[in-house]
Structure 1
């Protein structure tokens, strides 16, 4: 006589089938992407202002070099082809906005909030986002060097088709963060906390520090093999052929 499957077994099988045949423990929570739909925008020809309130405007090819706008709020805005060298935007809030082909070195965004934001083809260096909050953000294309995200909180963030050179995630919290078709070079994960961080799509994955913080991340088998020498060195394991 063949025993009939129990109700629990049936439920588990159904759940596994719904998940594409993978056990529940193999699933990775996907990042929720922003759905930015900008209204008709009004061209803005002015500069940044401390605690400024920018609503439904477009900064087009604006030179914001060295300007100061700490605490400013950008709601339903577009920043397109803007220069942000040395701009001060600490504690600024970018909500339901799109930043396209922005460029600059040393942009100060410490403590800023980016929520439902798309960053497209940016060329940035030394951007300061320490202590910032990023929620439902997509960074697509472009190249960002020496990105400072120390003590930042990232939730539902996707890095897609971009190059991140020496990003600093020290002490940051990353939840549902995906790296897709991008380069992650010399990343610092010291004291970071990761949860459902999907690194499998990174075309190049190079961890400089913080190997002990990879719990909560998902790697491919090939990536694990590539990281094996660095992991062994971190653990003090000698590999002798």
Structure 2
């Protein structure tokens, strides 16, 4: 199986004011060999999984902390309370995964596609995401505190109260994505393109938007929050 994807909007897309250039995110380029069906039992801490397909596997409460997934496909898997802290997911696809309380804290996701996920309370704090595409689905209360995101695209998905507190975002794009009640407290943004967000709601940390690009309409929508942050009273 061969998958290729180009940058959304293209690297070096034009945005901002005065013709300022915005560096586009690089999407993952996956060249996956045909995977073998995983026939083993549960996950193992520090396990090594190479070229495997986990098809509708129930991985709930499994302990795969520190495990390595390379050229793997997880399709329709249940990940409730799965422990994948410090795991490494490389050149892999997660399609239609679901679960509450999945622990990916301190994990590394590199060249990964996540499609049509239904997740809640996923712990990804302190993780490293590079060339990751999250497309479709809905993720509630995503915890990305102190994580590092580089070349990450959120596309056609719904993020409810995502927590980016203290995170570093570089070349991150939101494309046709609903962002509801986001927390940017203490976050650092570089070349973050929010113009494509279908809805943009920032609950905390609006003062951290330096380094992001928004549209004129989004600026008007955010005006009350920005005025409150600056201590401006608006009276008619």
State whether structure 2 residue 33 is matched by structure 1 residue 36: no
CA contact (8 A) 1:106 1:127 kept: yes
TM-score, normalised relative to structure 2:
0.92
In structure 1, distance between residues paired with 2:130 and 2:18: 25
TM-score, normalised relative to structure 1:
0.90
**Runs of 4+ displaced beyond 2 Å:** 18-25
Match of 1:119 among 107, 114, 122: 114
Q: Which stretches in structure 2 are left out of the alignment for 5+ residues?
A: 1-11
Determine which structure has the larger helix proportion and give its number: 1
SS of the equivalent of 1:238 reads coil
- Cα distance 1:171–1:225, how it changes in 2: closer, same or farther (>3 A)? same
- Cα distance 1:128–1:105, how it changes in 2: closer, same or farther (>3 A)? same
How far 1:235 sits from its partner (Å)? 1.1
Let me know the Cα RMSD of the aligned residues: 1.7
Match of 2:103 among 89, 104, 108: 108
| 1:70-219 paired onto structure 2 within 5 Å | 70-219=65-214
Match of 1:45 among 27, 39, 54: 39
Which has the greater radius of gyration? 1
In structure 2, distance between residues paired with 1:158 and 1:21: 17
State whether structure 2 residue 61 is matched by structure 1 residue 66: yes
Count the aligned residue pairs.
224
How far 1:29 sits from its partner (Å)? 0.2
Q: Structure 1, residues 137-176: CA drift from partner, whole Å, max 9, x if none?
A: 0000000000000000000000000000000000000000
How far 1:23 sits from its partner (Å)? 8.4
